Amino acid sequence: MAGREIVLDTKAFLVSETDAKGIIRFANDEFCHYAGYSVDELIGKPHNVVRHPDMPRAAFKDLWATIKSGKKWRGFVKNETQNGDYYWVFATVYPFTSCDGKDGYISCRRTISDMEKEKYEALYKEMRAQEK
């Protein structure tokens, strides 16, 4: 059974930090709230713990290639909550060096419009079909 959609508040701003391998080092309260995890449950986990199976592999291949090259990546992402529900975000991910000198990535996310969601649901469905 497919989960239900969670719609982010228009003022929601979800933030997470990972190490260079994508392991979560920080998650703000809003990210924890929408993902359905406590911060303690997220710290030390791979960020793909929230990856929804509807997301095409090519989207994350592009994300990783972009940020590993030192550039900023922006895109639309469908995430899965701990209980199997889902939510859509527009994400900006960029490389940075944390205050302790370790390289990693920051991801900042906001809600998207219904029109954007419809467009990317259709595009990602088509991309997944091509991956099979």
Residues in Cβ contact with 29 at an 8 Å cutoff, skipping those fewer than 6 apart: 39
* Residue 99: band (very low, low, confident or very high) from pLDDT cuts 50, 70, 90: confident
The pLDDT of residue 8 is above 80: yes
Mean predicted confidence (pLDDT) in 48-70: 96
The pLDDT of residue 43 is above 80: yes
Placement of tokens 């979800």 in the chain: 14
Residue 72, token pair as written in the block: 């900023």
pTM for this prediction? 0.93
Q: What is the pLDDT of residue 57?
A: 94
CATH class of 14-131: alpha beta
* Residue 21: band (very low, low, confident or very high) from pLDDT cuts 50, 70, 90: very high
Residues in Cβ contact with 46 at an 8 Å cutoff, skipping those fewer than 6 apart: 21, 22, 23, 24
